[in-house]
Each structure stands twice: as C-alpha cells, then as structure tokens.
Amino acid sequence: MRRRAAPTLPPAAPGLADLAPDQRLRRLELTVTRRLNGMLHGQHHGLLPGPGSEIAGSREYRPGEDEVRRMDWAVTARTTVPHVREVDADRELTTWLLVDASPSMEYGTATLDKRELAVAAVAAVGFLTAGVGNKLGGQVLHPTGLRRFPARSGRTHLLGLLRALLAAPRTGGYDLDTAPLAPFTLIDGIDGVQRMATRRGLVVLVSDFLDGLPDDPAGAAPWEAGLRRLAARHQVLAVEVTDPRELELPDVGLITLVDPETGRRREVWTGDRALRERYAAAAAAQRDQVRRALRRSGAAHLALRTDRDWSADIVRHVHAQRRLAAAPAPARGGVG
C-alpha cells in the first residue's frame, strides 16, 4: 500500500531562530536596539532629517531667512517678485538600500569582515527608519546580478532582507573564471535604485566604493555621475566600509596578495619599509579620492571600519546630522 505524501506547508515567516541558529541576528538586533535607544521611533523620519519634499505652494522670498536653492522661479517670473517654494514634511519615509556584496566586501582581518559590517549597517538603518507607514526596500549587488527587494514595512521584511545579505554567495559560491564578461557593477546598482525609487526618500549605499576607481587620484570615479543624479532627487547616505589592513601593511615577511575581483596573485615582501610607506600613502590617497567623489555627489558620508565600534560611529553620525538639521540657517546679506 502506497503511503500518501504529506502535504507541503507554506514556508513560515522568517524568525530569528531559523535565520541565524548561532543567534548572530539576535545579538545584532539587541546591539542595535540598545545602542540606538532613544533614537528609534522618534520624531525624525530618517538618518538625514530635512524640511520635507512635498510641494505646498509658494510665498514671497525673505532675505536673510530663505535659501536661494528653494526659489520658485516660475512664480517669480510670473509675478516679478521673488518667491520660494513651501514644502510639507513627509508623513511616510521610503528607504532604498543598495548593498555591495562583491568579492572585495568579503575581506576582513578584525572581528567582522566587510560583508558582516554591511549587514550591521543595514540593520541599524532598518531600525532607525522603522515607523508607522515607513517602508524599506532595495537591492543586493554581486558580480552575477542584482537581487531586488520591493519596499515593504515591518520587522519580518527587515529580517528577510538581513537573511538574504548573510546568504548572498561569496567567492566560493561562483567561479570567477566563468563569471560574466561584463559583471554587474556599482553603476548598475545605482541605476537600478534610481529606477525603483520613483518617490522621494532616503537612499543608503553600503560599499567600499572601490569599484572602477581610476589610478589617477584626481580622476572622477565612474559611479560619481549616477550618484549625483540620485542625490538630486533623494537624500543619499553613503556608508563606506573599510578594513585596517587595506590602509597599511604590517611587517610580517613574505605574503601573497590576492585581488578578490580578478583572482590575480602577487607575492610581496612586507619587510621593506619603503614599500609599506608607499602602500600606506597610496591607500590614503585612494580613500581621499572616494571621500571627494562622495562630497561632489552631494551624499552624506558615514565611514565604518571593521576594527571600530560601528554602533558608536553610527550614533555619532546621527547626532551630528540632527544637530545640523536643528541649527538655524546662517543669515545672508551684507553688513549695512
């Protein structure tokens, strides 16, 4: 007699137990909640508070009080009197994430590697922007493609996104020799977010921003133009993730360096002091190149390191942003 197969049950909603048996996500949630206590579910709608984006009409320009960038040129032309746009504060916030899961993000010599630190940053953003009506969506970028997550609200959705980040394939999950000739890059991810984020909101990019940087420190990063277009419509936060060994070489003798993106190998004698100094100078110039590109793009910059207390760095950044948002605008005009 044949036994009837048991009916297939729909998958249960993700929970902390099955997402991370080793309790990594549970510890991460407790860390974020404890360290960011007092910032969660407050009157601020995001990491970059602002006056809002919904147009609510125009009024006459007040010298010394209003910003010129808020000028309503159409009304000014019709009335021949300077007017500025008035906006209402957004009642809901949609946060869009772009998380870099390329091979270079797998590197780490401290407690966390760069990929794990990216997950921690996403968790912090998710809890900070949680609120009634607020939504979170985005994309995970790796060389073989983009995985998209629609904007949804709720803790279950956030945990599902964190699980996807933890489970994203690493270098051992695909063969670099058979990878696409034109792998997905940070430019593709930024363009994808721009297509998904049709409504003004907060865009958070988590990456080491090393993708395609030119050898010339004065050159423009290839992703800079796309990021500038994104920042023209949205509030953009760029979370730069680095590891201390990317900034300087220790004196440990002969080592083999491997490019995680191409697999190229090179043996280096770290006992050479001049070599270590050249490496540190080149690394500092590269990070300065990234900072300048982000500043020119109009994005806020949050630097996280695998050997630092990332939660404390996020707390300091949020406090600084809120102080800037609460500060009165500087008076304009000459002294009479």
Q: Does one domain contain both 263 and 204? A: yes
Contact 304, 117 (CB under 8 A): yes
Per-residue pLDDT at 31 exceeds 50? yes
Q: Does one domain contain both 302 and 204? A: yes
pLDDT value for 33: 65
Q: Is 110 part of a structural domain of the chain?
A: yes
Q: Does one domain contain both 111 and 77? A: no
Higher pLDDT, 97 or 13: 97
Q: Does one domain contain both 194 and 279? A: yes
Higher pLDDT, 328 or 269: 269
pLDDT value for 238: 96
Angle at 222 between CA 216 and CA 223, to 5 degrees: 135
Per-residue pLDDT at 3 exceeds 80? no
Q: In whole numbers, what is the pLDDT of the chain averaged over residues?
A: 78
| End-to-end C-alpha distance for the chain, whole angstroms | 101
Angle at 280 between CA 315 and CA 183, to 5 degrees: 75
| Strand 202-207 with 94-100, pairing | parallel
CATH number where 295 lies: 3.40.50.410
Q: Does one domain contain both 129 and 82? A: no
Q: Does one domain contain both 171 and 250? A: yes
Q: Does one domain contain both 64 and 114? A: no
For 177-233, write each residue's pLDDT tens digit: 554 445 788 999 999 999 998 888 899 999 999 988 888 888 889 999 999 999 998
Rg (the chain; Cα; Å): 23
Q: Does one domain contain both 112 and 250? A: yes
Q: What is the span of the domain harbouring residue 80?
A: 54-88
Contact 105, 117 (CB under 8 A): no
Q: Is 9 part of a structural domain of the chain?
A: no
Q: Does one domain contain both 99 and 84? A: no
pLDDT value for 291: 95
pTM value > 0.85: no
| Three-class HEC string of the chain | CCCCCCCCCCCCCCCHHHHCCCCHHHHHHHHHHHHCCCCCCCCCCCCCCCCCCEEEEEEECCCCCCCHHHECHHHHHHHCCCEEEEEECCCCCEEEEEEECCHHHHCCCCCCCHHHHHHHHHHHHHHHCCCCCCEEEEEEEECCEEEEEEEECCHHHHHHHHHHHHHCCCHHHCCHHHCCCCCCCHHHHHHHHHHHCCCCCEEEEEECCCCCCCCCCCCCCCCHHHHHHHHHHCEEEEEEEECHHHCCCCCCCEEEEECCCCCCEEEEECCCHHHHHHHHHHHHHHHHHHHHHHHHHCCEEEEEECCCCHHHHHHHHHHHHHHHHHCCCCCCCCCC
pLDDT value for 159: 83
Per-residue pLDDT at 45 exceeds 50? no
Residue type, 187: I
Average pLDDT over residues 144-156: 87
The number of distinct structural domains making up the chain is 2
Q: Is 139 part of a structural domain of the chain?
A: yes
Higher pLDDT, 9 or 219: 219
pLDDT band at 26 (very low <50, low <70, confident <90, very high): low
pLDDT value for 97: 95
Q: Does one domain contain both 84 and 98? A: no
